[in-house]
Amino acid sequence: MQKYCEICKLPAHGSHFGAVTCRACAAFFRRAILAKRIRKSCKLNNDCSDFRGIKIPPCKSCRMRKCVQAGMISDKFQIQKLEDNIPQSVEVCLGRPTILLLSKSERTFVDVNYLIKQGLDILNLGSPSPLRPSQSQLEKMTLAISKPSRTSKKLSHLERDHYTQVWESDFLSAAKFLTHFDSFMKLPPGMQMQLLQAIWHILPKILKVVKTANLCHGKWEKQVFHLHEDFYVDLDDTKFDVSWMASCSYEQVRCLLFGEDVSTQIEKGVNAIYKLNLSEIELTFMMSQLCFEYASKRFLGTEIAEVCERFQGILAEDIHEYYTKASRNDNNYAGRLAKILRVNREILRTIRKLRDKTHVARTLDILTVDFSHPEMFIDSGGKMTNPEGPPCEICGQDGQGNHFGVISCRACAAFFSYHCKPCRLKKCRAVGMSTSNFQHDRDALQIAKVSRKRKLPHTVEICLELPHFVLFCPNDSSTVKQVNTYVDMSLLISQAMDIFKYGAEKPLVAKNGLLKLSYAYNFRNRADGVKKLTKVTQKEVTSFWEYHFLTTAKWLTHFDRFERLDQDLKMKILFAVWHIWGRLDKLVATALYRNNNKDAKSSERLFGNGMMMDTDSVLADSRWMSRLPTEQLRYFLDGIRGWDLHHLIDEIRSLDLTETELTFMLAHLCFQYVASRYGGKMSEIMEEFLGELSNDLHDYYTKDRMMIRYSGRLMKLLRINKEILENIRLYRGRAEVAKVFDVFHLDFSHPEMFRDTGFV
């Protein structure tokens, strides 16, 4: 047999359709015969000789003519290799095997009316926690997922009750989540419920993957998946009971319910989300974007789709503000956002792939469960997809929205948008377009050739994504605390808002604002009824926070200028000054305690709420806040406890402060800190406050105490305040170190309250 193709002269493969040809020419001849369409005439007057396609594409007309001349005939085609057709049996006609035709399936009815009633009640009541108007809608929605994590157990058997428990938890959690979205709460109740029924099973998908990643520490090797707050399953060990919802065993319906490669999908999701290390704001945006993107596709061409598009625009603006605000200052966030949206697209692609399998399960009557509200379970694996939209006006199939002015399916829309290429090329030439006008080599010359194959060297730091000082830090995995302690300040903030709402507890009459604040402080009673602490635990620390936060709020209500501010500014000031106020208050209370008790030890410290401790003998339980023992935490806790400021106690005792002077010190310290922290308009307001209080202090010295030269004493007071502020700035660096090394395992519902406290 000859070695070269009779058509193109390239190496031959064998005899094809009556001639020795290569595979390419044989495939061309088969396509040309089966296409049954008129071929274009040759542009070179049927004189083409090169059919290799190396320099120019081969002419199809001349190539076909040469194939015929070489003896290639269509009689050699093998269109149907099977001689006998499949017999037309009952199973073939109905598309079901005999075992399903002769068996009667028992249906399971699931009534979700009570669950929908609970969801309606949640939507009618609104968000359970008070939301501040100053927060963006994305930040408000973050409060809904900021919950303390609970210890979950592994299930050995997943039964019907567990399925319904997961459905109930996911549905009600989605309803509570949506109540924190102001734009959603403005929708009509019917549209709210329709959206909730569409996205309730989409919303927790990402959250479950995040909890799975935390459960297996980013390495999905144990085949586990977090289904509920109280339990998780092992895909290899857990036995799934599907007898109540399917007529086959779990092994037979697994691919229909969850897909063929469910393990691979979970592993990819866990790895992707663990590498992203999402913040709560980013996680909230990711969940919301996934839900509203899914809803806009499901209700395409309807009013709900337009609403979902508007929701996505609002969330996009909020995430932009989150990335570009002063605390992050991340203007180049496009790469990170693209990774987040890529995960969402993979989830939506998985949902679309599962629709065909669910349709097969419904057609073969494999799923034997019926729902009182089947629209709730579309794309959940229990019901096949129903777009719930009007039919296509062209072909009558299910419509996918408004295309070019009419409701149509995607196939008809694509057909309408198709343009004939030969006619388009003909029109281009008719208007004067010519290949002679091509402009090549317009790019500027490169001085240095850049190699695109260069990569970063594979060092240990790059592989592990950790710097040197973290790699060589000894770490005992047995002492690592995996679950953070969640501190919810919502109730405390609500109490402070009530204090600001109702004002001072009792009316005070004074000549000026400084004296009014002085009467409200009444520091002389702080050293009465002292109780000694021998051990400081979480309960005592949170009681200190509560006392200083609420006492500061009550004290501020006695300042008339402060009372004239709006609620948002009041809360913003309180968030900043409550722990600053507490620092000076503890120093003053300890100084007063030593004045009243001559036998007091230098190691004894008094807190404003009547608690006293001996720093030499007191025990501290820090397990709730850190994985490190108390001895290793001293470097960070000294700034929180203010131990570097204890030498100021003797200075305060030597000054023998009056209540008016102490009140001025407190107000000056707090308002000066607020001005330096926020700046801008807030700084101007604080300057007005300090100006009024300075005038009041001048009147106090010159009129009440008859002190004309008080500048020296005032300098001593302000020197104490200055040292406290310097100490706060000094320990900011230690707080950053603690944050980098994950020293404190604390999650706060309102982290802005604890800025400059050392915990965040």
Amino acid at 394: I
Instruction: Give yes or no for residue 428 having a pLDDT over 60.
Output: yes
Indicate whether 167 and 72 sit together in one domain.
no
Tens-place pLDDT, residues 117-148: 999 988 988 876 666 677 888 888 888 887 76
Cα within 13 Å of Cα(214), Cβ side: 18
Residue 480: pLDDT band with limits 50, 70, 90: very low
Lookup: tokens for 591: 């100084």
- Return the SS3 of 109: strand
Instruction: Give yes or no for residue 559 having a pLDDT over 80.
Output: yes
Tokens 């973290």 locate to 470
- The mean pLDDT of 712-731, rounded to a whole number, is 89
Indicate whether 258 and 311 sit together in one domain.
yes
User: Quick one: pLDDT at residue 76?
Assistant: 65
- The mean pLDDT of 105-125, rounded to a whole number, is 86
| Domain presence at residue 105 | no
When mean pLDDT is compared across 119-128, 189-198, 574-583, the lowest value belongs to 119-128
Instruction: Give yes or no for residue 387 having a pLDDT over 50.
Output: no
| Domain presence at residue 126 | no
Residues 582, 608 contacting (CB under 8 angstroms): yes
User: Quick one: pLDDT at residue 91?
Assistant: 60
User: Quick one: pLDDT at residue 308?
Assistant: 92
Residue 667: pLDDT band with limits 50, 70, 90: very high
User: Quick one: pLDDT at residue 288?
Assistant: 92
Tens-place pLDDT, residues 508-549: 777 888 988 888 776 556 556 688 888 889 898 899 899 999
Mean pLDDT score of the chain, rounded to an integer?
A: 80
Residues 604, 611 contacting (CB under 8 angstroms): no
Q: In whole angstroms, what is the distance from residue 392 CA to residue 382 CA?
A: 26
| Domain presence at residue 69 | yes
Top-confidence residue, 462 or 343: 343
Lookup: tokens for 25: 């020419």
When mean pLDDT is compared across 37-51, 264-278, 295-309, 680-694, the lowest value belongs to 37-51
Q: For 464-543, where are the E strands, in sequence order?
A: 485-487, 531-533, 535-536
Q: In whole angstroms, what is the distance from residue 246 CA to residue 256 CA?
A: 11
Of 58, 75, 95, which marks where a domain is finished?
95
Amino acid at 11: P
CA 159 to centroid of chain Cα atoms: 31
Domain of 620, CATH number, reads 1.10.565.10
| Domain presence at residue 534 | yes
User: Quick one: pLDDT at residue 263?
Assistant: 72
Indicate whether 639 and 556 sit together in one domain.
yes
Residues 368, 343 contacting (CB under 8 angstroms): no
Torsion angle of C-alpha atoms 751, 754, 757, 758, degrees rounded to 10: -10
Contacts of residues 619-622 at CB distance under 8 Å and 24 or more positions apart, as own/partner, are 619/534, 619/535, 619/536, 620/535, 620/536, 621/535, 621/536, 621/537, 621/538
CA-atom Rg of the chain in angstroms:
37
Instruction: Give yes or no for residue 280 having a pLDDT over 80.
Output: yes
Indicate whether 377 and 399 sit together in one domain.
no
Of 49, 78, 95, which marks where a domain is finished?
95
User: Quick one: pLDDT at residue 264?
Assistant: 75
Contacts of residues 8-12 at CB distance under 8 Å and 24 or more positions apart, as own/partner, are 8/51, 8/52, 8/53, 8/58, 9/52, 10/52
- The mean pLDDT of 66-78, rounded to a whole number, is 81
Residue 84: pLDDT band with limits 50, 70, 90: low
Instruction: Give yes or no for residue 738 having a pLDDT over 60.
Output: yes
When mean pLDDT is compared across 64-78, 114-128, 326-340, the lowest value belongs to 326-340
**Pairing label, strands 604-606, 369-371:** unpaired
Q: In whole angstroms, what is the distance from residue 21 CA to residue 155 CA?
A: 64
Domain of 82, CATH number, reads 3.30.50.10
User: Quick one: pLDDT at residue 734?
Assistant: 84
Instruction: Give yes or no for residue 384 having a pLDDT over 50.
Output: no
Indicate whether 202 and 334 sit together in one domain.
yes
Indicate whether 643 and 527 sit together in one domain.
yes
Amino acid at 371: F
Q: H helices within 679-744, ranges in order? A: 680-699, 711-730, 732-740
Residue 497: pLDDT band with limits 50, 70, 90: very high
What percent of the chain shows pLDDT beyond 90? 16
Q: Specify which residues 533 forms β-bridges with.
A: 613
Residues 297, 118 contacting (CB under 8 angstroms): no
Lookup: tokens for 534: 């021998």
User: Quick one: pLDDT at residue 386?
Assistant: 43
- The mean pLDDT of 334-349, rounded to a whole number, is 86
Residues 108, 244 contacting (CB under 8 angstroms): yes
User: Quick one: pLDDT at residue 465?
Assistant: 58
| Domain presence at residue 490 | no
Tens-place pLDDT, residues 171-186: 999 999 999 898 999 9
Q: Is the pTM of this model over 0.95?
A: no
Q: In whole angstroms, what is the distance from residue 288 CA to residue 504 CA?
A: 42
Indicate whether 354 and 381 sit together in one domain.
yes
Lookup: tokens for 656: 């023998």
- The mean pLDDT of 285-302, rounded to a whole number, is 88
When mean pLDDT is compared across 128-137, 426-435, 522-531, 702-711, the lowest value belongs to 522-531
- Return the SS3 of 643: helix
Indicate whether 410 and 351 sit together in one domain.
no
Residue 689: pLDDT band with limits 50, 70, 90: very high
User: Quick one: pLDDT at residue 696?
Assistant: 92
Indicate whether 279 and 198 sit together in one domain.
yes
Q: Specify which residues 225 forms β-bridges with.
A: 233
- Answer left, alpha or beta for residue 366, where phi above 0 means left and psi between -120 and 50 means alpha: alpha
| Domain presence at residue 185 | yes
CA 131 to centroid of chain Cα atoms: 19
User: Quick one: pLDDT at residue 244?
Assistant: 83
**Which domain range does residue 410 map to?**
389-418
- The mean pLDDT of 309-316, rounded to a whole number, is 90
Our count of domains for the chain comes to 4
Q: In whole angstroms, what is the distance from residue 519 CA to residue 508 CA?
A: 8
> CA geometry: angle at 126 spanning 120 and 130, to 5°?
160
Q: Specify which residues 21 forms β-bridges with.
A: 14
Amino acid at 57: P
Give the 3-state secondary structure percentages of the chain, helix then strand then coil, rounded to 5: 55, 10, 35
User: Quick one: pLDDT at residue 565?
Assistant: 93
Indicate whether 381 and 396 sit together in one domain.
no
User: Quick one: pLDDT at residue 675?
Assistant: 92
Residue 447: pLDDT band with limits 50, 70, 90: very low
Looking at mean pLDDT, say which of 16-30, 210-224, 412-426, 436-450 comes out highest: 16-30
Torsion angle of C-alpha atoms 170, 171, 176, 180, degrees rounded to 10: 90
| Domain presence at residue 130 | no
User: Quick one: pLDDT at residue 735?
Assistant: 85
Indicate whether 412 and 375 sit together in one domain.
no
- The mean pLDDT of 272-288, rounded to a whole number, is 87
Instruction: Give yes or no for residue 712 having a pLDDT over 90.
Output: no
Residue 484: pLDDT band with limits 50, 70, 90: confident
Q: Specify which residues 108 forms β-bridges with.
A: 369
- The mean pLDDT of 224-253, rounded to a whole number, is 82
Tens-place pLDDT, residues 592-617: 888 888 888 888 888 767 788 888 88
Instruction: Give yes or no for residue 473 having a pLDDT over 70.
Output: no
Instruction: Give yes or no for residue 476 having a pLDDT over 80.
Output: no
Instruction: Give yes or no for residue 747 having a pLDDT over 50.
Output: yes
Instruction: Give yes or no for residue 16 having a pLDDT over 70.
Output: yes
Q: Specify which residues 619 forms β-bridges with.
A: 535
User: Quick one: pLDDT at residue 241?
Assistant: 87
Of 95, 118, 137, which marks where a domain is finished?
95
What percent of the chain shows pLDDT beyond 70? 80
Residues 30, 77 contacting (CB under 8 angstroms): yes
Indicate whether 650 and 715 sit together in one domain.
yes
| Domain presence at residue 722 | yes
Lookup: tokens for 538: 């979480």
User: Quick one: pLDDT at residue 479?
Assistant: 47
- Residue 385: partners with Cβ closer than 8 Å, 6 or more residues away: 355, 358, 359, 378, 379
Top-confidence residue, 435 or 308: 308
Q: In whole angstroms, what is the distance from residue 393 CA to residue 732 CA?
A: 66
Tokens 């009014």 locate to 516
When mean pLDDT is compared across 116-125, 215-224, 332-341, 459-468, the lowest value belongs to 459-468
